[in-house]
Structures are given as structure tokens and as C-alpha cells.
Amino acid sequence: MRYALLTIILLAVAESASAEIYKYQDVEGRICFSDKPMQGDYKLLWRSKSIGEISSYAPPGMTRSGSPSGWDPAQYRLNLARHAPIIDEAARRVRLRPELLHAMVKAESGYDPNALSKAGARGLMQLMPDTAKRYGVTNITDPYQNVDGGSRYLRDLLAMFNSNLSLALAAYNSGENNVKKHGNQVPPFPETQGYVKKVLEYYTENRVATAGKEKTASLSVTN
């Protein structure tokens, strides 16, 4: 229900000149979302002038005819708009940079909540059933639960490997035991090595895009 309400609100405000999403708790303790500030315990969850404002997480050079990765541009942007607030909130909750979680979701599923790998990994962050169970994810295809479980798993991997991002990403992809078995190095698996490289590239792109937006906002304030 929480995800459905959030999706409806996002779609309703997507075409407006400015969009804001607020999260608040009602008198019965339920978490709700609104495009307007409400009375009570609420906070601003997401703000954007348009869907294009969060398109810095889109594949470079994407055109209407498709992208090199084979993603459908329209569906990709719709999925991004739907799930960006969930990813951003999870990043704040586990104290990770949102640019990193976006890079992982982009590499894992292209923001497709129904993504399913040959190995059985599912959802936005491609959780394996055993990992989902370990982190209390009862509905692996629910975007909120999937991202919550995946982000907590990444946080724990970073702690396990002394904040070494490459090793944490390698462990996320191939399992922590494989990283340990190879002397705390990225395992010599082409898929894992390609995954680490891809996520780091996306992460760098996102950091650059965020820095550019922050610089533009700063200039707008000072001028």
C-alpha cells in the first residue's frame, strides 16, 4: 500500500512545474506520502522541478530508439521516477550516499522492480532469496523492502571489508565468502570484475552530476 500511494503521487505530480513528496505519520502510526505538507509529523522526502531533474541517473546518450544496454528509455525513466524516492530514503536511513545506491540499482536491474536473473536474484537490487530472508524481506519484489534489504546488506559488507567499496561490491555480486577465499581481493570472475567496474563508473557519473547541480544551485543563490 505504501508503495502504491507513493507511485500514484509521483505520477500525479510528474508533469507539474515543481514537484515535492512529503512523508508523514498519521494518528494511527501509518506512514503516508503526499505532494503537500500535512499537519503533524512530516518531512520533505523528495523535490524536483520535473522528472528530468533526476535523469542524471539515466544512461549517457540514451535516445528514444533505445540505449546500448537495451533498456527502453521511456520505461527506464518512469521506473526511475517511481523508485528514486525509495532509494534516496534508504540511503539516508543506512547512511550511504544515494549516488552509490542509484549506481547499484542501475547496474543490477535498470530500475526494473520485476527484474529476475538466471541465478534467481530478484527486484531492484537483485536480492537472492537467502539474502532476503537474512534481512527480513518478506516480499522480495516489493521495491521498498527490496531496496531496504539490499542497502543494509551493502552497509554490512562495507563494515566487513573495512569500507573498501570494490570489495563490498564484489561480495554483493559473488558472495562474501568468495572475496575472503581469494585473499580479500576482487575474485577473478569476469562477471564480478565487470560488475564492480560498472557500478564504480555509474557512481562516479552520479557524483559528478550531483556536484554540478550543487554548484549550479550555489551560483543561483549567490547571484
The 3-class secondary structure across 27-80, one letter per residue, is CCCCEEEECCCCCCEEEEEEEECCHHHHHHHCCCCCECCECCCCCCHHHHHHHH
Q: What is the mean pLDDT of residues 130-137?
A: 96
Higher pLDDT, 169 or 16: 169
How much is the average pLDDT of 187-198? 96
Find all residues with CB under 8 Å of 146, minimum gap 6, and list them.
Answer: 113, 122, 123, 124, 125, 127, 132, 137, 140
pLDDT > 80? residue 213: no
pLDDT on residue 55: 43
Min mean pLDDT across 30-34, 120-124, 159-163, 205-209 is at 30-34
- Mean pLDDT (whole number) for 219-223: 46
State residue 48's pLDDT score. 45
Q: Is the pLDDT of residue 45 over 70?
A: no
In which band, very low, low, confident or very high, does the pLDDT at 210 lie, cut at 50, 70 and 90? confident
- pTM higher than the cut 0.75: no
Please give the pLDDT value at position 74. 85
Give the catalytic positions in this structure.
108
Residue 39 has pLDDT above 90, yes or no: no
Q: Identify the pLDDT of residue 6.
A: 46
Q: Which fold has domain 83-222?
A: Lysozyme (1.10.530)
Mean pLDDT of the chain: 78
| d(C-alpha 144, C-alpha 23), whole Å | 14
Q: What is the mean pLDDT of residues 125-140?
A: 96
Average pLDDT over every residue of 208-220: 64
Share of the chain above pLDDT 70, in %: 63
pLDDT band at 66 (very low <50, low <70, confident <90, very high): very low
Closest Cα to residue 57, out of 103, 22, 4?
103
